Structure 1
Amino acid sequence: MVSAVAVGGAQAQSIAQALTTAYDYAPDLQSALLSAKSSAENIALANAGKRPTIGASLSGSYNWSVVNNRFDDSTSLSPGLSYNQTIFDNGKTDADIEAARAGAEAAEYQIRSTEQTVLLAVVQAYMNVYSGRQLVALRQENRDFYSAQLQSSRDRLDVGEGTRIDVAQAEARLAQGDAAYRAAVSSLEISQATFQRYVGQAPQNLDPSHNFSRLIPSSLPAAIAAAEVDHPALLMSKAAIRAAQASSASAKAQFGPKASLSGGVTGTATDPKGQRDGISGSVSFQITVPIYAGGAIGAGVRKANIEQIKSEVDAMSAYDQIREAVISAWAGIQSADAQISAANSAESAGRTVVDGVIQERDLGTSTTLDVLNAQAELTTAREARITASTNKVIATFSLLAAMGHLTAADLGLNVEVKSAVRYTDAVDDVWAELRSVKE
């Protein structure tokens, strides 16, 4: 087995370490968290529809006059306090609150979905770097082999045991090997840049061994069942259906009556004595019933109903996609296992063939082309093993993601799990706005 190229130090950087670093660094995950907090504020905005609005005011005036060379002036102050509250709106505010809560819940599941996307991308980048380093080392070794065969062909030609055809074939194969090596180096550079994009630092000496396979169920039906319960996309779809249902109820509530209460108290004071001249107050009650709004109310109801149906269709689509992803990842693991076994057998046989053909070439029963072809087949088998091993790891984590278990909590990463739940709970604080004004 070709070892990975060591970079940056002797201590290996595990997949878990890369995932932990990426979780704390990932801008996409931070953006999802901020979006969830923003969605939580919709709850406070909706709750405001059931709560009173209270305001204070202060108005004043200064008046002066000159009559018959006599100057007179006066000032007045009028402090006031107002109160307004909707006491009945046919359930519209309650529906808006429910829609906002469902939206905040969906945004929280979006964090988990983004988390899975980021962590899976990190695993893919990690394995691309690891396998890329293996391929670079393998193709360097392969290029050295072709270089040695070219020199051997030239030496054999010099002593009359070879032909110019052998030399030309070795030169052509060396050129192909050099091109393959350079392509591997370029691909590795891209993979390392991708790794740094997600993790926030350059890849070190990577070690892809892990124990996360323990999270894989023993059967495909069990994996599908886990996905149906835990996948954030499905949970987000269910929350979206609730939000759409609540929005539909809110739209329908606009057809009903609305009752509001308002009141105010105003006082007046004048100079020069500064005595209060008087105080006045008022209380008013209003009931409104919509009759016609230019078609806006009916259009709003129809639109809300369509959005509700769409959310249900989207949920069905999400279920089908997740089920497909679970089956695909499960099949990927099985396929990778078979490919690894086949590649190991082919590599073992290929080494024997190369050694044998070289001996036959030296005895004159095989040609240089036979040696070159045998080496090419061995290289193909070794590359197939590297690719299959990489695919096995990626398929394992892809299955965890398809099940909804590729999260920091499920993996046991040493991080503070990003969540907007506590922020969402805080926005229900009735007196938070008053305290912020006081502070």
Structure 2
Amino acid sequence: MKYRGILRASALAVIVACTSSGAAQAQSITQALTAAYEHAPDLQAALLSAKASAENIVQAKSGKLPTVGASIGGTQSFSNASGQALLLGDHPVSSSQLQAGLSYNQTIFDNFQTDAQIEAARAGAEAAEYQLRNTEQNVLLQVVQAYMAVLSGRELLALREENLRFFEAQLQSAQDRLDVGEGTRIDVAQAQARLAQGQAAYRAAQGTLETSQATFQRYVGARPQNLSPGHNYGNLIPRTLEAALGEAELGHPAILLAKAGIRAAQAGSDAAQAAGGPTASVSGSLGTNWSQSNRGGAGTGGWSASLGFQVSIPIYSGGRIGSAVRKANLEQIKSEVDAMSAYDQIREAVISAWSGIQSADAQIQAAQAAVSSSNTVLEGVIQERDLGTRTTLDVLNAQADLTTARESLINASSNKTIATFSLLNAMGRLTARDLGLAVEIKTAVPYTQAVEDVWQELRTVVE
């Protein structure tokens, strides 16, 4: 009868683990997400990429602004004016020259090509910001997946350990029954075989858990502690699938990224067409020079200034302009196709995640019922075995059914959590801001606003 105590203790292990494993000092999902947001290299790389894209705006705007330069130079020359060999005491003729000047160049009209390039650069910077948000969502979802892999892996490992204790007890029981003449060697052999299988399953669970913990550390930057499955992010899920689809279509960063890509491609097409038009530019210079000779006399100096303009009209470019226009038009069409594909993919992801939540709920209910019934069956089989109407193999098979039901409950609970966060990801709401994480939001918007001040470089020089 002592085996029933072991049975009852192990029967509640999975359910109890879900409530007792999140004791004091537990590492919650929120804490893991917060640590990963600060640590993730992929997120930092996406932020730097967005800032780099903002610099394209500055470079494009420079096409409409003047370039101003200053120069200064001088020469010192020596010569023998007579053309004869120098005698002792003779000195060569030397002269000094110094020049200084300012230059100014500006394109005053380029058929609006620069305007189109600025718009393309701004759309590209916007797309990079949405790419940052998309990367953020993917990183946070990977963290949740790693978190639940460790949590479920620990529960499965505990279940494997309980199985080992059960099989060891059954093997000892079979051996004791054989020793008193109530059992058979077949019962002992079957118990030994199940114990060996249980040991192999235990080692496999250990290896899987170690891999999951390494993945967790890669994303979060620290080893997993006492994990707790609880979270309050389910309130972010809408009540209907239609509402979830509506949120995704309006605010998912992948869709917004695709829209920005269309804008960039349209501006690129405009810039390519503008390249075939006329351009006009002005230039000017102001300079002074001074010279002095060692032959005596005062130095001479003067100044000069010039102002000019140039109008250029392309006539034939060897097919380069026409090819650039056709290529830009094709890229614009491709951007629209990519946007339609993004809509379809996001819609599919929302429906899949929504179905995953419904399926996980059904699996949890079924697994809970299976655990309860399998536990009752196992207790009955053990009693019948003790009365001699069942064999050790019947007990081992009943234990296997109970183990399978417990595994299903662990996996279904993990799948429910992952499906919840997958739906938030598909809706575009798996972000630090939506989750309320206590972090400084990573964004390139302030950097973009700062670098668009293209006169900053000139003010720095003057100061």
TM-score strictly above 0.5:
yes
Contact 2:22 2:228 in 1 (8 A): no
Contact 2:191 2:396 in 1 (8 A): yes
What is the CA–CA distance in structure 2 between the aligned matches of 1:275 and 1:177, rounded to whole Å?
104
Deviations along 1:39-68, whole A, 9 cap, x unmatched? Answer: 000000000000000000112111222335
What is the CA–CA distance in structure 2 between the aligned matches of 1:127 and 1:213, rounded to whole Å?
16
Amino acid at match of 2:186: I
Match of 1:42 in 2: 56
User: Could you tell me which of 112, 131, 136 is aligned with 2:133?
Assistant: 112
Per-residue deviation at 1:12? 0.1
Match of 1:29 in 2: 43
Match of 2:85 in 1: none
Deviations along 1:243-272, whole A, 9 cap, x unmatched? Answer: 000000000001110111111111111236
Contact 2:18 2:229 in 1 (8 A): no
Q: Does 1:90 align with 2:114?
A: no
Match of 2:172 in 1: 151
Per-residue deviation at 1:431? 1.9
Amino acid at match of 1:243: A
User: Could you tell me which of 347, 350, 357 is aligned with 1:326?
Assistant: 350
1:438/1:379 CA distance change after superposition, 3 Å: farther
Contact 2:22 2:229 in 1 (8 A): no
Query: 1:14-413 maps to which residues of 2 (within 5 A)?
Result: 14-67=28-81, 69-271=90-292, 277-413=301-437
Per-residue deviation at 1:376? 0.4
1:316/1:212 CA distance change after superposition, 3 Å: same
- Provide the TM-score with structure 1 as the length reference: 0.97
Per-residue deviation at 1:427? 1.4
Per-residue deviation at 1:433? 1.3
**Runs of at least 5 residues in structure 1 that lack an aligned partner in the other structure:** none
**Runs of at least 5 residues in structure 2 that lack an aligned partner in the other structure:** 1-14, 83-89
Amino acid at match of 1:282: S
Amino acid at match of 1:415: V
Tell me which moved more, 418-427 or 276-285.
276-285
Q: Aligned with 1:79: secondary structure?
A: strand
What is the CA–CA distance in structure 2 between the aligned matches of 1:5 and 1:182, rounded to whole Å?
25
Deviations along 1:201-244, whole A, 9 cap, x unmatched? Answer: 00000001000000000000000000001100000000000000
Q: Aligned with 2:27: secondary structure?
A: strand
Match of 2:6 in 1: none
Deviations along 1:300-325, whole A, 9 cap, x unmatched? Answer: 00110000000000000000000000
- Provide the TM-score with structure 2 as the length reference: 0.92
Per-residue deviation at 1:71? 2.6
RMSD of aligned alpha carbons: 1.7
Contact 1:4 1:206 in 2 (8 A): no
What is the CA–CA distance in structure 2 between the aligned matches of 1:411 and 1:276, rounded to whole Å?
76
What is the CA–CA distance in structure 2 between the aligned matches of 1:198 and 1:6, rounded to whole Å?
26
What is the CA–CA distance in structure 2 between the aligned matches of 1:241 and 1:34, rounded to whole Å?
23
Match of 1:427 in 2: 451
Amino acid at match of 1:313: V
Per-residue deviation at 1:4? 7.0
What is the CA–CA distance in structure 2 between the aligned matches of 1:255 and 1:180, rounded to whole Å?
71
What is the CA–CA distance in structure 1 between the aligned matches of 2:46 and 2:461, rounded to whole Å?
29
Seq. identity, %: 67
Per-residue deviation at 1:6? 9.7
What is the CA–CA distance in structure 1 between the aligned matches of 2:171 and 2:91, rounded to whole Å?
120
Tell me which moved more, 64-73 or 292-301.
64-73
Amino acid at match of 2:17: S
Per-residue deviation at 1:168? 1.0
